[in-house]
Amino acid sequence: MTAVPVWAQLVYLACAVGFILALKGLSGPRTARTGNLVGAAAAVIACAVPFFYVDLDHVVLILVAIAVGTVGGVVGARRVQMTQMPQMVALFNGVGGGAAALVALLELHEILEQPGGVDVVGWFVLVATAFTIFVGSVSFAGSVITFAKLQELMSSAPLVFPGLAIVFGASLVAGVGLATQLALSPAMWVGIVLALVGLLFGALLVLPVGGADVPIVISLLNAFTGLTVAAGGYVLDNVVLLVAGTLVGASGTFLTLLMAKAMGRSVSNILFGALKGGSTLGAGVASDRPVRSAGPEDVAIMLAYADRIIIVPGYGLAVAQAQHTLRELVDVLGERGADVDYAIHPVAGRMPGHMNVLLAEAQVPYEQLKEMDDINGDFKDADVVLVVGANDVVNPAAKTTPGAPIYGMPILNVDEAKQVVFMKRSMRPGFAGIENELLFEDHTTLLFGDAKDSMSKLLNAVKAL
């Protein structure tokens, strides 16, 4: 292994600091763009450094691979819709885990080819290699399944089959056994079989997870990828990989726990609930109970006479691409003297921060975006709350109905408002598959139709007043 010169170590240290600063920048919307650029610059520099002190083989192939990856990443990132951002995150995360596993396999091959290589590197490096191969493969396979679920290439419902729990447990035991054998008696075939078992385990881990819980699994797999990169950094004796992987692993773990808490669920229930024979979903049948509905003109009058208005955006808003029209509506209401804010639930959209990005794309001022804990006390003073494309995050069943799939999940206190307007395409329930009792309350009005079309009509009706 090539010794790392002092200048390269200093550059790696600077890159590691850049990653830390990038993570800090990503913690707020105002600094997120700068943080992202800092992190990207640090990654580019870290990748370039080995070309200046390592006697590399196959340089042409390496440069071709970098060029192909760069083109694919740039084109994919520019073409992806904001509503599909979680899919891209899942796919890129899976590629990272798969790359870490492949690098570990190559390092294993190099160790075995060198005379006395096993004795030189020691048992702990072999343990780290086995960990990287197995967990990296798990992350790759699991991320591909999450991508397919979110992209609707396969059913988003929990997929189970008889004996799934047995196969799942057997694959885990096989993975641990093969990893132990690789550490005690390393062989290339053991590493390859370990990778294949990891792919099977990763697929079985995600298949039983329902679509509403997939974003949490993406975050968990992201943490897995970070840990594999950190372990790979130990194997390669690369400090910058060790630091970057640890940051990703730690932040991904915290994010997973926070998302699960925001949904009132435990990570074990999300991953293994379907294996126990239960379901995290309700019946999912559209209700035929009577509700009070109105047209855009009636809702426009309600908004025009309201002093305090709160908007609750959901994923349906983004799917309908109605965020630009909504921003224009809010601007008009603001010009007429109304105090308008957006209430953002932690899991609004498909993952934390997703709704903020979708609204930022429509040039919504950051000052109007209020997190759940900051705005929940304001609903009782709101004249009108306009719910656009959200359902489960405002469902009072989370507070009043023990046994409901969402019971215990922190929600936006929309039920406390004086008037509530729901913009819905139909009476179908949200991801949890249960009725929202708020829809049937006396102070709730429904505006049916496609969100973009209804929002345009509502905007025109407000302008006409």
Q: State the pairing for strand pair 308-313/339-344.
A: parallel
Whether 55 is catalytic is no
Q: What angle do CA 445, 446, 447 make, to 5 degrees?
A: 125
Q: What angle do CA 10, 13, 19 make, to 5 degrees?
A: 150
Token representation of residue 384: 């009108």
Q: How far is CA 146 from CA 125, 207, 291, 318, in A?
A: 31, 8, 36, 20
Token representation of residue 205: 């881990």
Q: What is the DSSP string of 279-300?
A: -S----PPP-S---B--HHHHH
Token representation of residue 86: 């979680």
Single-letter amino acid, residue 221: L
Which of 213, 341, 378, 392 is the catalytic position?
A: 392
In three-state secondary structure terms, 446 is strand
DSSP run (H or E) holding 370? strand 369-371
d(CA 414, CA 375): 10
Q: State the pairing for strand pair 369-371/420-424.
A: unpaired
**Cβ neighbours for 98, distance < 8 A, ≥ 6 positions apart:** 136, 137, 139, 140
Active site (catalytic) residues: 392
